[in-house]
A and B are shown apart, each in its own frame.
Chain A
Amino acid sequence: MPDPIDFNSWTCPLPLRDYDRIVIGHGGGGKLSAELVEHLFLPAFGHDSEAELHDSATIDLASLMAGGGFGGTGSNGPRLAFSTDSYVVRPLFFPGGNIGDLAVNGTVNDVAMSGARPLALSTGFILEEGLEMATLAVVAQTMGQAAKEAGVRLATGDTKVVDSGSADLMFINTAGVGVVPEGVDIRPARATPGDVIVVSGNIGEHGIAVMSKREGIEFGTEIVTDSAPLNGLVEVMLEASNDIHVLRDPTRGGLAASLCEIASAADVGINYEETAVPVPAAVKAACSFLGLDAVSVANEGKLIAVVPPDSVDSVVSAMQANPYGRETTVIGKVVDQHPGVVTARTPLGSTRVVDIPLGEQLPRIC
């Protein structure tokens, strides 16, 4: 019989008592992933469990140049941002793209979400023995093109080959560095009651595109991945406002996971209008027949911005003028009620709690 659990706060240093092995859900971007970081990695790495968790780390440049170390987390001077992500998508090729697109755009976006201008990526390949050279070549070329479009350099890399059967043909890790301009302070904890929440376009496309090719689930669709570099979009947003509070790219776990993480990090409530969230008809249909919720489906070319009310108009106009933000819409706001909890107003006028997905999104029958 497990000890009584206080469901309001996961007190540390509790071990991950529920699992003695890693399960697929730990990589799903939802609660299980967050727990893994909070209860296993952070303590092991010697970090304060209160430490802010967001997509990239920053190093204060002035402090660095003066021979110092990381610098305080409160620094507003120019900072170096760096981030890493690994790409293990299966299948490697999906409608509209391949793992190479994700590997470049994903990390470019991670870096950009802290307001940084991405400069360069490193690329680490873990290849399965037997992988076709032609496949690798296509992926590499895709990465080259994506880097060019994003305006970043693929600066350094590494390749390892493992036994057949271990690597699902190909895993890619990319780490990115960028520079956060002076005065820019973008992180989840900055979400403040009264702020407006904006999304840069249609949600659910990437996850559905990938799922349409999954064995046992396949279906025909015109939906393609939305994988895209968002650093250009972020730049025009920063020009429009010097006080953007939060930027987040809703990848694994979708819009729901990102909003829940922001609400939790800033200890604020979030409320959004379901009817305001742009979901393409085909994504709705796929979610309908599989029993998925579009707000929990991954995106690879969209961002969420949390913006103070007086900046909304200028930010939204700037976004809509950019090729990657044409369908930008306001979807909700940050509130001081129900801190840490995200709610959605349904078309019928009722309110439902939106929870962070537990692990992998799976089709259901019931």
Chain B
Amino acid sequence: MSRAILLAPLWVWLLMLVAAPVLILVVMAFATPADGVPPFTLGLRFAAFAMLVEDFYYAEALLAALRLAATTAGLCLLIAYPMALGMAAVRPGWRLPLLALLMLPFWTGFLLRLGAWIGLLRDEGLVNHLLRGLGITDAPLALLYTEGAMLAGMVHAYLPFAVLPIFTALIRLDPALLEAAADLGAQPARVFFSITLPLTLPAAAAGFLLVFIPAAGEFVIPELLGPPEAQVIGRVLWQEFFQNRDWPLAAALALVLLALLILPMRWFQKLGAST
């Protein structure tokens, strides 16, 4: 009885704020844009989806987003794995301060960190200032609003999320296994490749997905640091909604993005259950 009283408002909350919005998204994707407030008329039309198929612009935006997400997650993994190895190898007393050092940037404000990258990379920014001061370049290099700037911002924002699961897996490794391998004469490299790496591979995959999934829908970093032609899906959805006021098309784009992310999400869930 008392359970029902506690559960009822929680159900209302979840159905209202999670289930209903997604259902409305589906309804909206089949509506028609119209002049007015709000700018649509309901119906069952496939115009938005037809547009997504006909105009290659949208397919390209999806591909660009997946490519950006995969590149970001790959770069994060390349840096995160050795970082996690290093963090797991320090004396146990140092682990907590290093963990704090890893997660603290997350608490300093996402937009402020992007502001720092703008200050570093723009034409009259610090990097160009130094390059000219050292006599390496005469004219400022175009660093901001490039693929490189966008990737730097992406890796900077997401790197800690890739390190965390790998670090956790590394410190949970049974030391007896490593010692046994060493006692039996395995060189450190052999121990790493035959024990440490295989046992932490699921965590590395989890780290990859933890970056890949949010990065695929990223809007702010491509917008503030990327080139105008980096039209990823998050940016296109934003423009369709805010500039073109085409709500049905924006909803259809959101559904397609969700559909593309279902497999990575399922994979991530499986990894979570097994680790």
> Do the two chains belong together in a single complex?
no
